[in-house]
Structure 1
Amino acid sequence: MTLDDLRVFMDVCRSGSLSAVARDLDCTQPAVSQHVKRLERELGLALVERHPRGVVPTQAGRILHAALRDGLGSLDHALRQLDALARGEGGSVRITTGATTVRHFMSAGVVDFRARHPQASLEFQTANSSRDCCEALAAGGLDLAWITLDTPVRGIEQRPVVELPWVLAVREGDPLADRSHIAPADLEHVRLIGLPENSTSRARLDVWLGGSGVHVSSDSSAADWDTAVLLAELGVGYAVVPALPGWRGPGHPDLRLVPIPDLPPLTAGWAVRRWDALSPLARAFADTVARHSAALGAQAAPGSSGRR
């Protein structure tokens, strides 16, 4: 018994004619009859009665036809969905990431992906840190995580996409705003706006400051990079943050971003449980975002003066 046997039987019941089904399927009448006979042999019951003007289902045939009318249509629909999913045309992609990631890294990629896969859906789950993203990914139910890459995580595969140089975000007119670059000694005793707790960026910055012997104070903090930069532009303090292209332009008229070349760049990218187990749709989304993010990373590198 095959799906083709059941589909042909459905067609025979609907048309009442073996020859009509053969014409529709572009095959011979004996071939259509063989599908029906195969079902009858496996079930041990006659399913159709042959008459001069065609065929009609027997009692057993009516029972099978009623069941198939409800179930086979749903199965065919599911198979079409699975076929679309296999070809990367339908289904959903589930991503976990930080609050600012879509704005800074994914906006162009999302637009491009939707244009190429209009039937696909995107589901975003916000997490507070790269560690939280990896934990949510490991728990199952998600396809991809965009994280700041650091040490390897057991059971998680990482793929770097973009390197982010560090800058000092400072208000226009501040004495440090005109520097061509910032050295560790320039940060001695400045008031830094604290980066998010438990974030990879904060841990990396703390290690670098400690290793450089730099002592800074902090009387304010922010829940994300965007807030830290806004506070710096308002003159609340200084923010040492990865350079992101969205902070350059008319939207931040009082902001200056001064390069910190001695601080090793952060690397951001994708994390998954297994790349070879991703659906074609999830791979297409990851590749699209990576392509656009790599271009943004080149734009994010601050100029020699840090001015626009």
Structure 2
Amino acid sequence: MHVEDLRWFVVLAETEHLTEAAAALGTSQPNLTRSLQRVERAFGVPLFERERRGVRLNPYGRLVLEAARAGTAAVDTAQRRIDALLDPDSGTVRLAFLHSVATSLMPDLLKAFRAVAPQVEFELRQEPAHDIVQDLESGEAEIAIVAPRPDPARFGWHLLERQRLCLHVPPGHPLASRRRVELEAARDEPFIGLQPGFGFQRVTDRLCREAGFTPQLAFEATDLATIDSLVGAGLGVAILPAGAVRGNDSGAVSVPLAGVRARREIGMSWRSSTALSPAAERFRAFVRSRPVTAS
């Protein structure tokens, strides 16, 4: 039994006449009869009472009619949703991104893309890097804006931005007037950082480790804007990407870190083994056409 058999069954149940139902369906009466037999075999009972002038649903048939109407409607809804997803002009892009790009890179990308594809929808997921990789693997996300680069053997990659890393210090701090600062100069300062598991916190830990110390965390936040605000309030210092926090008038001063490794690369990633939906492919092509930026 196929979905089409249920559709034909519904028409026959509504007309209660084989010839009329066959005509309405644009098929022959023998074809309709065979379709009905498949439905009855699937349920194991007769669904109609045969009468001289036509057919009439029996109690079993009325139960099947209710289910057939609901089932075919659900299938039709699923098909419409699939068709919408497959439309590059009005589909949906399942996109995951880092907390640390939520107020900078992400709004720029989305605004620029919606200017050329206003009907495309986005299903957004804001997550730590390790959750993003899991979502790419499971298919929950098709595309991700992430750092660091995931496993090149399994994921595609396109570099979007090289971010200069800076030491954010409270206003009036002794380091605030410097043009550039060695991270070691902040070794005795309390640090405001991200909670464990966030990819950017691993960047902070690595840089401090290379500078010869372990940062003493005064507070662990879940987003960069909170870190910037707490630094501005004088609770400590923090390592943040240049330009990562916008519209936050905290008063914190951003001093570039010295050293060529004081950079972070943000990129777009996708699972190499799986084809993207048309809408996601359109978004990927758009993003890849944009120049790499540096901050």
Category of TM-score, reference length = shorter chain: 0.5 to 0.7
CA distance in 2, matches of 1:24, 1:273: 47
Residue pair 1:165, 1:265 contacting (<8 A) in 2 also: yes
Q: What whole-Å deviation, never above 9, does each CA across 1:108-136 have from its counterpart, x for those lacking one?
A: 63995996356x8x475x75x43355467
Residue pair 1:134, 1:271 contacting (<8 A) in 2 also: no
2:31 aligned residue (21, 29, 35)? 35
CA distance in 2, matches of 1:24, 1:37: 14
What displacement does 1:104 show? 4.7
**Identity, % of aligned positions:** 17
Structure 1: 5+ residue stretches without partners: 303-308
| 1:78-227 pair list within 5 angstroms | 78-89=74-85, 102-107=102-107, 109=110, 112=114, 116=119, 122=123, 124=125, 129-131=128-130, 133-134=132-133, 142-143=140-141, 147-150=146-149, 152=151, 157=155, 159-160=157-158, 162-163=160-161, 164-174=163-173, 176-180=175-179, 182-184=180-182, 187=185, 189=187, 191=189, 193-196=191-194, 197-211=196-210, 213=211, 218=216, 220-224=218-222, 225-227=224-226
CA distance in 2, matches of 1:96, 1:161: 16
Paired residue for 2:69?
A: 73
Where 1:276 maps in the other structure, the secondary structure is coil
Q: 1:158 to 1:172 in 2, by over 3 A?
A: farther
Q: What whole-Å deviation, never above 9, does each CA across 1:83-105 have from its counterpart, x for those lacking one?
A: 23433449998777665654555
Q: 1:8 to 1:64 in 2, by over 3 A?
A: farther
What displacement does 1:229 show? 1.4
Paired residue for 1:306?
A: none
CA distance in 2, matches of 1:77, 1:117: 25
What displacement does 1:149 show? 1.9
Residue pair 1:189, 1:217 contacting (<8 A) in 2 also: yes
Structure 2: 5+ residue stretches without partners: none
Paired residue for 1:305?
A: none
Which residue identity is paired with 1:258? V
> What TM-score does the superposition give when structure 2 sets the normalisation length?
0.65
CA distance in 2, matches of 1:15, 1:171: 79
Q: What whole-Å deviation, never above 9, does each CA across 1:119-175 have from its counterpart, x for those lacking one?
A: x8x475x75x4335546776x584466543256399x63645533331222344445
> What TM-score does the superposition give when structure 1 sets the normalisation length?
0.63
Where 1:74 maps in the other structure, the secondary structure is helix
Q: 1:218 to 1:4 in 2, by over 3 A?
A: closer
